[in-house]
A and B are shown apart, each in its own frame.
Chain A
Amino acid sequence: MLANTEWPAYERADGRKGIRNIVAVVYLVECAHHVAREIAAPYGEQGVHVVGFPGCYPNNYAFRMLSRLCTHPNVGAVLLVSLGCESFSRQELQAVVAESGRPVQTLVIQDRGGTRSTVALGRSWVEAQLESLAAVPRTTMSFGELTVGTVCGGSDGTSVISANPAVGRAFDLLVGAGATCIFEETLEMVGCEEHLAERAATPELAGELRAAVAKAARYSAAMGYPSFAAGNATGGLTTIEEKSLGAYSKSGHRPVSGLIKPGDVPDFSGLYLLDVVPDGDVRWGFPNINDSVEIAELISCGSHVVLFTTGRGSVVGSAISPVIKVCANPETYARLSEDMDVDAGRILTGSASLDDVAEEICDLVVEVAGGVLSASESLGHREFVLGYKSFEPIGPACHPAPLAMARG
């Protein structure tokens, strides 16, 4: 049934399909952030989103992230806003976007007469794009072309009982219908790595998954915040591996098809683990200073929609892709219902089963993909955070071709 579901979508020149038709206004250093924000400000309701990179020193990861986000299928046109003297290669980013077939323009504040005139130029360009984007070819889209990410934030003891396993079952359904699903948070998978490895599509991938969790454990220990503290019996948690289950249970029960890093867009449908912990020495501080970084990374891997589970009650959304809030705790839902999309706490009160909520999540994914605004979207949440990191490219063992294709 799910596999046959279709919804309206936007067709991009590169053949990918989007569920939103966004104009991205991109600052290439913090010094250009205000101008970018001012350009976008009048068009908040019309799908003009601000993303960018604050740093003045060059960083390959940040370049790759912005390249992927600017050519994300939800994005229809891109305005780059440069101060002029930053290290970020605006020419290269403009070339990447132009090559994808999208309208792109670069405004250099130092060459355009300053703040007021750059804002005016930017707004007139954005207005022209909003008009032409209305003519982007429409098509239909199905699960085989959809990518869904998941993240948790503000978790509590109810998360593992309700929202997280419900998202896991939704992932089982979505992957079964042909979608690409991405989970992450290797830092919170310490203790689950053997079970994770058992789900790997190949023995080589199993080794890569173990190594990714080991890297996360080393990294967090070096930062002084190991991902497991002294055993905490409150709320009934007994072992480390049980504690890690909270995050891990969002991944469902399907085999793991591959291990990807920020900016890697999977070549085949399936279930992927996104490794967000930098490679090499501990140089860049905390791997994820907040949930918004992780959401941006999930979107850089092609996520059209992100499922965000919360117990305490996060209110964030994101630029580029809609965030759907799945609330684990019924008391939190009662308090913050205007920010929530799914009341998974009904599992605790006995008025819904995990399967009921999983189906509700899948139905909502279809609705939001079809254009209905999620709660955070309708409230104007467009958070975006990007910092410094470094990654080695993934090896062939991380992303094996599906068995049938490899043999076929």
Chain B
Amino acid sequence: MPANSDTAPVDPAPYVRLAPSDNVVVLTRHVDSAEHLPGLSGEDWLVVAHLDAGNKLAAVPIAAGERVFKVGVPIGTATAAIVPGEHVHSHNLRSDYVAIDAEGTHGAGEH
């Protein structure tokens, strides 16, 4: 899993947008609760919980029912409206994955 970022980068934006069309960014180091991050459009993002590197933040406003894209690929649908800088995870994102095999072996952990 993501590296333990024990050296805080000087870089003011500890996240990457993996494809230009993505509506989320991915943290490249852990961030702390109450940490302020520079937003993509110059706004201020306030982190409300400790998050490890690899977690996702909304890059732009995401409406409930909108598909979430990472690396240019849809990874699910937002279940609630999400504001820029907000943590995107299982509380506001669900899988769109539909069974492709008769055995139905997928989706064990999808909630």
The yes or no verdict on A and B being binding partners is: yes
Give the docked Cα–Cα distance between A348 and B3 (Å).
9
Stretch from B38-46, B58-66, B68-76 at the A interface = B68-76
- Known contacts A217-B105, A231-B111; decide if A157 and B53 are in contact (CB<8 Å): yes
Q: Are B3 and A329 interface neighbours, CB within 8 A?
A: yes
Q: Are B110 and A249 interface neighbours, CB within 8 A?
A: no
Chain A residue at minimum C-beta to C-beta distance from B2: A157
Is B23 at the interface (CB under 8 A from chain A)? no
Q: Are B54 and A236 interface neighbours, CB within 8 A?
A: yes
Q: Which residues of B1-48 have CB atoms within 8 Å of chain A's CB atoms?
A: 1-4, 9-11, 13-14, 16, 18-19, 26-29
Q: Are A237 and B97 interface neighbours, CB within 8 A?
A: no
- Known contacts A231-B110, A236-B51; decide if A245 and B9 are in contact (CB<8 Å): no
Is B82 at the interface (CB under 8 A from chain A)? no
Q: Are A228 and B26 interface neighbours, CB within 8 A?
A: no
Q: Which residues of A contact B94 (CB under 8 A)?
A: 239
Q: Are A192 and B101 interface neighbours, CB within 8 A?
A: no
Q: How far is the CB of A57 from chain B (nearest CB, A)?
A: 30
Q: How far is the CB of B50 from chain A (nearest CB, A)?
A: 12
Q: Are A161 and B26 interface neighbours, CB within 8 A?
A: yes
Is B86 at the interface (CB under 8 A from chain A)? no
Q: Are B28 and A231 interface neighbours, CB within 8 A?
A: no
Give the docked Cα–Cα distance between A232 and B93 (Å).
14
Pick the residue among A213, A241, A348 that contacts B28 (CB under 8 A). A348
Q: Which residues of B contact A161 (CB under 8 A)?
A: 2, 16, 18, 26, 28, 53-54
Q: Which residues of B contact A121 (CB under 8 A)?
A: none
Give the docked Cα–Cα distance between A157 and B28 (Å).
10
Is A233 at the interface (CB under 8 A from chain B)? yes
Q: How far is the CB of B3 from chain A (nearest CB, A)?
A: 5
- Known contacts A233-B90, A349-B9; decide if A240 and B110 are in contact (CB<8 Å): yes
Q: Are A248 and B73 interface neighbours, CB within 8 A?
A: yes
Q: Are B16 and A157 interface neighbours, CB within 8 A?
A: no
Pick the residue among B10, B29, B53, B76 that contacts A238 (CB under 8 A). B76
Give the docked Cα–Cα distance between A329 and B95 (Å).
27
Q: Are A235 and B52 interface neighbours, CB within 8 A?
A: yes
Q: Which residues of B contact A210 (CB under 8 A)?
A: 100
Q: Which residues of A contact B111 (CB under 8 A)?
A: 231
Give the docked Cα–Cα distance between A30 and B66 (Å).
56
Q: How far is the CB of B76 from chain A (nearest CB, A)?
A: 4
Q: Are B73 and A157 interface neighbours, CB within 8 A?
A: no
Chain B residue at minimum C-beta to C-beta distance from A156: B1
- Known contacts A193-B100, A233-B90, A249-B71; decide if A240 and B16 are in contact (CB<8 Å): no
Give the docked Cα–Cα distance between A191 and B100 (Å).
9
Chain A residue at minimum C-beta to C-beta distance from B71: A249
Q: How far is the CB of A111 from chain B (nearest CB, A)?
A: 51
Q: Are A241 and B76 interface neighbours, CB within 8 A?
A: yes
- Known contacts A158-B2, A161-B16, A241-B95; decide if A233 and B106 are in contact (CB<8 Å): no
- Known contacts A240-B106, A245-B75; decide if A348 and B90 are in contact (CB<8 Å): no
Q: Which residues of B contact A249 (CB under 8 A)?
A: 18, 71, 73
Give the docked Cα–Cα distance between A4 and B13 (Å).
37
Give the docked Cα–Cα distance between A214 and B75 (Å).
18
Q: Are B106 and A168 interface neighbours, CB within 8 A?
A: no
Chain A residue at minimum C-beta to C-beta distance from B4: A331
Q: Are B109 and A232 interface neighbours, CB within 8 A?
A: yes
Q: Are A228 and B73 interface neighbours, CB within 8 A?
A: no
Q: How far is the CB of B82 from chain A (nearest CB, A)?
A: 12
Q: How far is the CB of B56 from chain A (nearest CB, A)?
A: 6
Q: How far is the CB of A84 from chain B (nearest CB, A)?
A: 45
Q: Are B54 and A237 interface neighbours, CB within 8 A?
A: yes
Q: How far is the CB of A287 from chain B (nearest CB, A)?
A: 15
Is A306 at the interface (CB under 8 A from chain B)? no
Q: How far is the CB of B97 from chain A (nearest CB, A)?
A: 5
Q: Are B53 and A235 interface neighbours, CB within 8 A?
A: yes
Q: How far is the CB of B111 from chain A (nearest CB, A)?
A: 7
Q: Which residues of A contact B19 (CB under 8 A)?
A: 165, 253
Q: Which residues of A contact B102 (CB under 8 A)?
A: 218
Is A160 at the interface (CB under 8 A from chain B)? yes
Q: Are B103 and A218 interface neighbours, CB within 8 A?
A: yes
Taking A237-B54, A238-B93, A253-B72 as known contacts, 4 extra A-B pairs with beta carbons closer than 8 A to each other, sorted by chain A number, are: A157-B1, A191-B95, A236-B89, A245-B73
B contact set with A: CB distance below 8 Å: 1-4, 9-11, 13-14, 16, 18-19, 26-29, 51-56, 70-76, 88-90, 93-97, 100-103, 105-111
List 6 A-B pairs, minimum CB-CB distance, nearest first.
A231-B109, A350-B11, A236-B55, A230-B109, A239-B95, A235-B1
